[in-house]
Amino acid sequence: MTTTTLEVRTPAGTVPVTVVRKRVKNLNLRIHRDGTVSLSIPTRTPLAVAQDFLNRRAGWIAAHIERVHTRAAERTHAGATADGLVPLWGRLQHAPGGAEEIEALYRREVARALPSAIARGEARVGVHAAGWQIRRMTSRWGSCTPARRSIRINSALAAYPPECLDYVVIHELTHLLEPSHNARFHALLDRFCPRNREIARILKRPAATVASNLLG
pLDDT in tens, 160-207: 999 999 999 999 999 999 998 899 999 999 999 999 999 999 998 888
CA distance 183 to 16: 19
Structural domains of the chain, count = 2
Name 111's Cβ contacts closer than 8 Å, sequence gap at least 6.
134
Q: Most distant CA pair in the chain: distance in Å? A: 58
Residues 33 and 128 reside in one and the same domain: no
CATH number at residue 90: 3.30.2010.10
Contact between residue 8 and residue 55 where contact means Cβ atoms under 8 Å apart: yes
Average pLDDT over residues 81-92: 78
Residues 163 and 94 reside in one and the same domain: yes
Among 75, 97, 120, the domain boundary falls at 75
Strand ranges, E, within 70-202: 85-88, 91-94, 131-135, 142-145, 150-154
Q: In terms of C-beta density within 10 A (0-12 exposed, 13-18 middle, 19 or more buried), how is residue 185 classed?
A: middle
Spell out a b/e string for 153-184, using b for 16 or more CB atoms within 10 Å of the CB, else e. bbbbbbbbbebbbbbbbbbbbbbbebbbbeee
Nearest to 131 by CA among 106, 151, 111, 147: 151
* pTM (2 d.p.): 0.65
CA distance 134 to 109: 11
Contact between residue 144 and residue 172 where contact means Cβ atoms under 8 Å apart: yes
Average pLDDT over residues 207-216: 67
125 pLDDT higher than 90: yes
Q: Decide the pairing of beta strands 150-154 and 142-145.
A: antiparallel
Residues 60 and 128 reside in one and the same domain: no
Strand ranges, E, within the chain: 2-10, 13-22, 28-31, 37-42, 85-88, 91-94, 131-135, 142-145, 150-154
**pLDDT band of 69, cuts 50, 70, 90:** low
Residues 89 and 174 reside in one and the same domain: yes
CA distance 38 to 33: 11
CA distance 190 to 118: 18
pLDDT at 32: 85
CA distance 212 to 203: 14
At 3-58, the pLDDT tens digits run 899 999 887 778 899 999 998 999 999 998 777 899 999 999 999 999 999 999 99
Among 44, 75, 106, the domain boundary falls at 75
Instruction: For residue 188, give its domain range.
Output: 77-215
Residues 42 and 118 reside in one and the same domain: no
Nearest to 54 by CA among 35, 27, 32, 36: 27
CA distance 165 to 110: 8
